[in-house]
Chain A
Amino acid sequence: MALLIFIYVAAAAFIIGNVYRIVRIARMPAHLRWELYPMPKGTHAQQQYGGSYFEQTEWWTRPRERSWPGELAYIAREVLCFKTLWGNNRGLWLWSWLTHVGLYSLVVTAVLTVAMAASGAAIAGVVQWTAGIAICAGMSGSLGMLAMRVASPRLRPFSTRLDIFNLLLIASVFGTGAAAFMSDARVPEQMATFLRSLFGTSPAPRLTLASSIHLAMVGVFLAYFPATHMTHAYMKFFTFHRVRWDDTPVVHDSALTQAMSENLGRPISWSAPHIVGDGRTWAAVVARADEEARR
């Protein structure tokens, strides 16, 4: 029963924490442009060499190209292959890639287990395979990363206690999963029953100690996740799509024009002598330079 309640709380913390972080970032004011090339927009050639619409004659007269396929292909290469890390930090690539493959497989395993619980489908064999991949990849990856954090002169000086703790937590999720399978091969069925009990459609199953510890570790990981930089899993949408690739000119976006007008009406309190905000608006402070020049 205690485990059931803990998983309820952890799931709630996971959902509320992540929604809070996404909403907080999404509701920040429209910002100035800060793009970076290459970006997956424009012609295929431009995407290869890093060109932009600024290369076109009178670019403002041309229709703006949207490129969801290009962005999605880029993200897919990053998510599945870790292309940037492969190109720029090969020594870390394998361990990082394995850790993430482990986490992806864990998510797939969870989704399949939910499907099993909901429909009663006989897919325990498939779940065993995905869980096996998760455990092998996740364990080796997180322990490899841990070894690099501790031993590599390149990483050690900037590896914090928290980095070490995060990796230990991830390793323990996979490690306890392995222990659960070793204690009882019918873990997928047990977990499906446990999920049904979460929704009140089945009594709580009798789990092995190893399975209970594994579920508790998963709960800790879920509750803790939104408080960490591991949220980069979805924050990449903002860092890439909303910042690095955001080349939208204001003339093409009336909503942006409105947002900027509102921003220029925000009060400013920076207090250096050439600003002295005192709560006047950005527009007023920027215009003050003209008044001073005329005096």
Chain B
Amino acid sequence: MIRPADIARASGVLSPVNAGQLPSLPAPFDASPRVSQKLRAGVDTSLDGFTALGLQPPANLQEEEALVERFLSGLQKLFSADDNWPFFQQLSLSVDHCTHCQSCADACPIYQESGCNEVYRPTYRSEIFRRVVRKYLRPGGKWVAALRGEDIQLNATAIVRLAELAYRCTLCRRCAQVCPIGVDNALITRELRKLFSMEMGIAPKELHDKGSVLQLRVGSSTGMNPRAAKDNVEFLDGEAQELTGMTIHTPWDKEGADVLLIHNAGEILSWPENPMAFAAILEAAGISWTLSSELAAYDSVNYGVWYDDVQFARVAMRQAEAARKLKVKKIVMGECGHGHKASMVVADRILTGDLNIPRESALVFLRDIVRSGRLHLDPSRNDFPVTLHDPCNMVRLMGIVEPQREVLRTLCPQFREMTPHGVENYCCGGGSGFAVMSGNNFLDWRMTVAGRRKVRQVIEAFADQPGPEIKKYVCAPCSNCKGQLRDLFQYHGLWEKSGIMYGGLAELIVNAMTDIKQKFIQWEFH
């Protein structure tokens, strides 16, 4: 039995993922998971055999002491009204009121699908955090910790494992949803990530160096600068024109447009059919719209929302500034879940005055266009099995549940729900940045543990038509979720063995448009 204090015990791998203990998937997807060991020399995998951060343990006692000192300095700042006003109250409430009832354990797909690996239990990480806070920050903490029997030695082993453990939770917040007290263990995970990033400069490269830093410097976390983005979209306009037979010209920086559309720029490179579909819909519906070429404003991603309040605020401000400059009536957030939450919810209160341009979800915007009758739509063009993946950020964390369903019920005769769905959905396993994190052997963990419940749900949703001869569509109106589904479907063979593909919501709408001669959905897995 692994206990919280064991986090500090140097003993090889604390709690390895045992492939034999993972709950098996239905046939023919029940092959043993592959776990590669492609690791850089010296990288610490002492938590569970995997690494998201690629940290190396301190080389000597001096480095270890410095690490502990910096960690404690960051811990103090998490409980400072000045340094952590954005989440001070929420964090304090969650630290002080957990009753250890373990209701959250059954709700966590990672804990359950790991075969109940104790270190993934939602309370394991947060209980360590609580004990460290009580011992090192509260008056008489060391004495009280000994008395309570919950002493944890804060050493390099504990800190490096905690840093990794902060990246074994997708922040889906199912655990918070079932907590009778209102405690939020996912928030504690996020605050831990903040401590590591904002004080110690420790964050996954994919989220920080190649993520928010790149977005602020170049314009997009994809590395596309404004010129490249414009060129790519111009190319896509040509493609869309060829595919739809419509005249499509994506407007850039059109001052006074009704709508500033902000896509996840990853769509332009990885799923170009999505921005093409949006362009076709907006063109056909006669909407006044534009994209912005301002830095960060043509990419809705805001990775800071997962790990760093300052990076988060910087990106949110940039996007709002661009909208203000263009004098648009509203911003429509493209199919990007965390972009939705970052801009519409978490950033809402820092966007004061004329920076608070109204922001609307693309799902609502598309629903209203479908409702308006401005498009000529024929549902029989979508007569194939369709299910819906609910992105956590849009659904459980924003309450946008029905608009996308209304579109699917209207346009997809074979639409069926996953179980459970809506606000009780399961994360795709790529949440909180995991979908873009594949360094070292993290991809294997993401495929075998984090995404396992979603694979199971998708297979079960199409259980009545399992063969590959019938093509099936998982509608995932979120770019990061699509990235995770792409990797999952490849890893577990869902496309090859069962003909299951994924895509966005806009593509289904264009596929149903009667003005378009050929089918928009091409059934080419990518």
The interface of chain A, by Cβ under 8 A from chain B, is 25, 28-39, 42, 46, 49-60, 78, 82, 84-85, 87-89, 92, 96, 154-155, 157-163, 229, 231-232, 235-236, 238-240, 242-244, 247, 249-251, 256-257, 260-261, 263-264, 266-275, 277, 282, 285-287, 289-290, 292-293
Contacts and interface: CB of A to CB of B under 8 A. Distances in A.
Contact of B123 (A158, A162, A229): A158
Given A52-B400, A271-B199, A287-B317, 13 more contacts: A50-B422, A55-B403, A88-B180, A92-B101, A154-B102, A154-B105, A235-B93, A236-B181, A239-B182, A266-B82, A270-B83, A289-B318, A290-B318
B72 interface: no
B313 interface: yes
B1 interface: yes
Contacts of B351: 250
Contacts of B318: 289-290
B182 A55 contact: no
A229 B423 contact: no
Contacts of B208: 274
A36 B177 contact: yes
A36 B83 contact: no
5 contacts: A37-B423, A60-B358, A89-B180, A266-B81, A290-B314
A82 B99 CA distance: 14
Interface of chain A: mostly helix, strand, loop or mixed = helix
A37 to B, nearest CB: 4
Given A50-B422, A267-B82, A249 B398 contact: no
| Interface pairs A-B: 3 shortest CB-CB | A52-B399, A239-B182, A50-B423
Nearest to B398: A54
A158 B311 CA distance: 35
B361 A160 contact: no
Contacts of B402: 49, 51, 55
Contact of A32 (B86, B344, B399): B86
Nearest to A259: B349
Contact of B216 (A53, A275, A293): A293
Given A57-B364, A270-B198, A89 B90 contact: no
A239 B183 contact: yes
Nearest to A288: B314
B469 interface: no
B199 A37 contact: no
B287 interface: no
Contact of B149 (A58, A160, A229, A250): A160
B106 A88 contact: yes
A42 B401 CA distance: 13
Contacts, number: 251
Interface in B262-317: 295, 310-311, 313-314, 317
Given A250-B348, A272-B198, A285-B310, A36 B397 contact: yes
Given A50-B395, A163-B100, A31 B87 contact: yes
B399 A85 contact: no
Given A29-B81, A229-B97, A257-B352, A274 B398 contact: no
B103 A157 contact: no
Contacts of A163: 99-100
A238 B3 CA distance: 30
A59 B82 contact: no
B89 A31 contact: yes
Interface in B45-96: 73-74, 77, 80-83, 85-90, 92-94, 96
Contacts of B183: 239
B178 A87 contact: yes
B38 interface: no
Which of the listed residues A38, A49, A251, A270 has the most CB atoms from chain B within 10 Å of its own CB?
Answer: A270
B383 interface: no
Contacts of A29: 81, 85, 88-89
A172 B423 CA distance: 42
B99 to A, nearest CB: 6
Nearest to B150: A160
A249 B343 CA distance: 12
A85 to B, nearest CB: 5
B106 A89 contact: yes
Contacts of A85: 101, 103, 180
A270 B97 contact: no
Contacts of B403: 55
Contacts of B13: none
A60 B344 CA distance: 11
B399 A239 contact: no
A54 B399 contact: yes
Given A89-B103, A162-B148, A232 B198 contact: no
B217 interface: yes
B482 interface: no
Contacts of A240: 182
B401 A50 contact: yes
Given A37-B395, A55-B399, A159-B100, A84 B178 contact: yes
B349 A32 contact: yes
B64 to A, nearest CB: 19
Contacts of A286: 310, 313-314, 317
A31 B90 contact: yes
B400 A282 contact: no
B399 A37 contact: yes
